[in-house]
Structure 1
């Protein structure tokens, strides 16, 4: 993101984004400290659930930095549209659910008590708003005139990517809410939401994949990192990667929701059976009947 349209002299290794790395490490440190303080306070751990949350959160941060702060970002903006789309797919489709899954409710809830925050979260997590915001921004971003402008104006592009990152987290809030006090969707509603979300991104990807030729002037003057990969094929590959990454992320989310749904239903069924009082009254003919309460 920070190197949109700005050539970097020297080796690709110089394109590592150090300020962004500091930010990511600060978030990782805050997260570690929150868990450490909770353990010191004597609060019970969550066993494997605690480990899973930590792995999810740290994985999300690591993938975000690799996509937005490593030479991958530079290559995507200076050479290959397909790499650019791969980075965007990771940032917007993979990172948000990993980070949100890694946040336990006790860690998020204090922020929800800040004046106005809960009301704001309630507003932006409404399914219609959450569905349309990222998809509209993503579609507008890939209009040729808009895309070429942003590629040549790095500071503007940086702000646009920041807004889209926020929109990506909002997009996942109806599915993954690590806090109480906000209306939650049922498992079936979440699955429908993800299906509609996938459909809404399809026109933008189809526009990129099935265009009659190259759409973006920004890559015309770029040196070809892979000479055998034409600008047009690179563009089509980028659209395909974006769509496949979204499908993989959403299918994974649907499978996860379905598994959790099944486990919850089985647990409720087990508790119901355990709590049943079964007796066999004797009827007037001396025959045992069966009534279950």
Structure 2
């Protein structure tokens, strides 16, 4: 299905990346379990929070190391699924999965406190969405896909900036959450707007923009970084990305843009509802009048 049967187990499942993710997950369970008493203010971590972390790690692995990552090199639509899973789904799950006491410990030992301005809502939104949009300029995208270490470093940078963006919305340390619910809702709207131009450019382009998904030679070279072996053999066997896709490159590109915008709208709309609910609940609680003492006559009646 989708050509996955033509690739080896290593190409589809990235064993080294899988091992790394398993080590990180094991470290999480050690820190939140047997080693938790070494941390100031540690408390038992709920099963729900642990589930969020594991699901976040699984989402990140599937997007960056599993079959979706491989398919993202053959079809632009899967590339966008991978991006949405990595930076709009996995990141908030990981932030929510880490307990508050561990975040406090990380914050106390944070060597980058001078860069705290990057977590300010407007700065975080502009930086993440700017880097994401810049990456999808055709010449930049093809350059990144064709240069292995640039590709790895850029994806790491996107992950870090997605953390700062989500941090401004979620803020897992309660005493540091100084942003009102109304401001958070405005920030979520800002994120939804900032990504729209890039998605619109991709969706409404009259022709394929990315050589990685339309030119066989460029595709084969890019595939050489995620599939072992000589790229020229890939070209001889499959001829190009169109071998794997059921959609022609132009349509595949438009579908990818729609998928990204759909993911963004659904995820941010859900977060918007969550923030609004908690803001409304808190505001109503603060507006409730304090109970007054009953008159003496009423007390006597009772």
Shorter chain as normaliser: what TM range?
0.7 to 0.9
With normalisation by structure 1, the TM-score equals: 0.82
Change (3 A) 1:281 1:55: same
Q: Which residue of 2 aligns with 1:258?
A: 276
Q: Which residue of 2 aligns with 1:23?
A: 20
Q: Which residue of 2 aligns with 1:70?
A: 66
Instruction: Provide the rounded CA distance (Å) in 2 between the counterparts of 1:237 and 1:269.
Output: 47
Structure 1 portions without partners, runs of 5+: 1-7, 283-287, 289-293
Q: Which residue of 1 aligns with 2:259?
A: 241
Does the CA-based 8 Å contact 1:81-1:219 persist in structure 2? yes
Q: Which residue of 2 aligns with 1:93?
A: 88
Q: Which residue of 2 aligns with 1:291?
A: none
Does the CA-based 8 Å contact 2:192-2:265 persist in structure 1? yes
Q: Which residue of 2 aligns with 1:161?
A: 155
Change (3 A) 1:277 1:172: same
Match of 2:188 among 183, 190, 194: 194
Instruction: Provide the rounded CA distance (Å) in 2 between the counterparts of 1:88 and 1:166.
Output: 14
**Secondary structure in 1 matching 2:83:** helix
Q: CA deviation at 1:119?
A: 3.8
Does the CA-based 8 Å contact 1:213-1:232 persist in structure 2? yes
CA distances 1:203-254 after superposition (whole Å, capped 9, x unpaired): 0000000011110112121232455411000000000000110111111111
Q: CA deviation at 1:38?
A: 6.7
**Secondary structure in 2 matching 1:279:** coil
Q: CA deviation at 1:75?
A: 1.6
CA distances 1:52-76 after superposition (whole Å, capped 9, x unpaired): 2111111111000000001211121
**Secondary structure in 2 matching 1:277:** coil
What do you get for the CA RMSD once the two structures are aligned?
Answer: 2.6
For these two proteins, the number of residue pairs brought into alignment is 268
Does the CA-based 8 Å contact 2:52-2:96 persist in structure 1? yes
Match of 1:140 among 134, 138, 155: 134
Does the CA-based 8 Å contact 1:130-1:171 persist in structure 2? yes
CA distances 1:14-70 after superposition (whole Å, capped 9, x unpaired): 212222212211221122112213776896546xxx222111111111000000001
With normalisation by structure 2, the TM-score equals: 0.80
Asked whether 1:32 is paired with 2:36, we answer no
Bigger fraction of residues in helix: 2
Instruction: Provide the rounded CA distance (Å) in 1 between the counterparts of 2:36 and 2:134.
Output: 46
Change (3 A) 1:264 1:45: farther
